[in-house]
Amino acid sequence: MIYNVLGDVKDLFNIDVDNISFKGIDLIPEGDFSYRILDDKERDEVIVNILKKIESDNKIVGMPERTDTWSKGWLESLEEFRKIGTPTSLIPRYMKPNQFMRLNRQFVYTNDPHFEWHAYQIFKLCLFTKYLKDFKYIYELGCGTGHNLLTLAQLFPEKILYGFDFVKSSSDLVNLIASKFNYNITGDLFDMLQPDMSKSLKPNSVVLTCGAIEQLASNTTPILEYLLSQPIELCVHLEPIYELYEETNLVDYLAMKFHIKRGYTVGYLPKLQELEKQGKIDILEIKRLSFGSLYMEGYTCIIWKPLKGQL
Ligand SMILES: C[S@@+](CC[C@H](N)C(=O)[O-])C[C@H]1O[C@@H](n2cnc3c(N)ncnc32)[C@H](O)[C@@H]1O
């Protein structure tokens, strides 16, 4: 059975597409959003391949050698952007085209090999327009190639944007994007595991992370302490959140196994929930988007704000 997702973005993400501004409409990627649920044989093959990947995968996040991997990866993107200079050269290399993916806790086959990327772009346009439009300063931590910052600059050219990452090739790339398109974006070095407490974020600002808290291998206390010490108004995360998977669902269970094997962060949401109990923050939204790669669901949305005077 073929479903049409684009016509039903509201149901998929439970976010009103009316939020997308005029500029955002122009940024909606063209893509084929039809898909079908796998038959039994295909599903068995997919599950066996995922189990093999979980057994053989040897990347562990947070290991010292991973810093070098990120540095080299973003250097390649920097060189490609220098040569080609188009936004597509900023699509991160970890976002591999694949027609098999997870959607609504099932494995599906999509006609568009870039379905995951395209769906993610549409969701971000809704999210950014709904939650970020009122802030003058936006900081993305762990910003990688800077593609989110480019989208933000296209949506809100009047805002002042910062992209922080712990490898220099990322901040060089962000600064190159800024100078090429003449956008108000600044790239800078920043290690979320050892935040420079002297680096002050501006009032009336929002902090964004996309697949970056996941990289901290559960060592999230330093960045939380840093964020709570700053005069920020809002934090928006798009991250894989282990605690929201359902252990009784096989598609989710495989993601949980993969998440633990890779060493992605666990325990971040419980820490936020504890801070909320202590009256230090208010969690405004916790939302699974229920789509992702074969291995994980990388885009759970958590939005919180510090409660001023409570820290
Ligand atoms: C999965 S990528 C996500 C990049 C980008 N946010 C995106 O949406 O494409 C993770 C990013 O986190 C960065 N990173 C990993 N550990 C970090 C740390 N301790 N401090 C700051 N950035 C870090 C990596 O260099 C990489 O750019």
pLDDT at position 246: 97
| Whole-number percent of the chain with pLDDT over 70 | 90
Residue range 239-245: average pLDDT?
98
User: What's the CATH code of the domain at 15?
Assistant: 3.40.50.150
Please tell me the least confidently modeled range out of 14-18, 37-41, 68-72, 216-220.
Answer: 14-18
- Structural domain contains residue 112: yes
Q: Which atom of ligand 1 is nearest to the CA of 193?
A: 19
Name the pLDDT band for 2 (thresholds 50, 70, 90).
very low
Name the pLDDT band for 3 (thresholds 50, 70, 90).
very low
Express each pLDDT in 53-102 by its tens digit: 999 999 999 898 899 999 999 999 999 999 998 988 899 988 888 899 99
- Structural domain contains residue 207: yes
pLDDT at position 4: 47
Domain span including residue 173: 2-306
Residue range 209-224: average pLDDT?
98
pLDDT at position 17: 58
- What pTM did the predictor assign? 0.94
- Ligand 1 site-directed mutation target among 63, 70, 170, 210, most atoms within 8 Å of CB: 70
| Pick from 224, 25, 238, 269: nearest CA to 143 | 238
Q: Does residue 190 register a pLDDT over 90?
A: yes
Which of residues 30 and 208 earns the better pLDDT score? Answer: 208
Residue nearest to atom 27 of ligand 1 (CA): 144
Give the chain's domain count: 1
Name the pLDDT band for 23 (thresholds 50, 70, 90).
low
- Ligand 1 site-directed mutation target among 89, 145, 215, 268, most atoms within 8 Å of CB: 215
- The single residue listed with the structure tokens 């009784």 is 248
- Structural domain contains residue 274: yes
- Structural domain contains residue 151: yes
- Structural domain contains residue 150: yes
Residue range 22-40: average pLDDT?
78
- Structural domain contains residue 311: no
- Structural domain contains residue 105: yes
- Structural domain contains residue 260: yes
Express each pLDDT in 107-144 by its tens digit: 999 988 988 888 888 888 889 988 999 999 999 999 99
